[in-house]
Amino acid sequence: MDDILDPSRHACVVYHVDQPPLTMVNKVGLPRLALLTFWNFRHSHAFWDGGPGMVWDSKSSHMEKPNGDEKEQAMSFHIGTIVVPDLLKGTSR
């Protein structure tokens, strides 16, 4: 994962074994190799309280959500692929 994260951002160490239906790539005690999800859903802890979807930012000294560029790269998209300039955040069509 460190290959796709912006400079100063790093994968966190895995503390819990992945469970099916997830692909079993992350190993306890090693840096995370794959993100669990990019979506928040009810009762998900992936993006708060140091959840498994967070990355360490050494500039801010905080755990943070992956940014848009990092999410695109994790899905093998080119940076900027999912940018939609006409769509405002929080709107739907």
The pLDDT profile of the chain, 93 residues, written as one tens digit per residue, is 888 899 999 998 888 877 777 778 888 999 888 876 666 566 666 767 777 778 999 999 998 888 888 888 888 888 888 777 766 555 555
pLDDT of residue 89: 59
Amino acid at 80: G
Report if residue 50 sits inside a domain. Answer: yes
The answer to the question of residue 17 being in a domain is: yes
Give domain status of residue 87, yes or no.
Answer: no
**Domain span including residue 10:** 1-78
State how many domains the chain has: 1
Give residue 43's pLDDT: 66
Domain assignment of residue 13, yes or no: yes
Residue with tokens 């503390």: 15
pLDDT at position 54, please? 86
The Cα 3–Cα 75 span in angstroms is 13
* Strand stretches in 1-93, DSSP E: 9-10, 55-57, 62-64
Q: Residue 10 domain-assigned?
A: yes
Inter-CA distances, 49 with 33, 46, 52, 73, 89, Å: 20, 8, 9, 24, 24
Residue 91 lies inside a defined structural domain of this protein: no
Q: Is residue 88 in a domain? A: no
93 within some domain: no
pLDDT value at position 9? 94
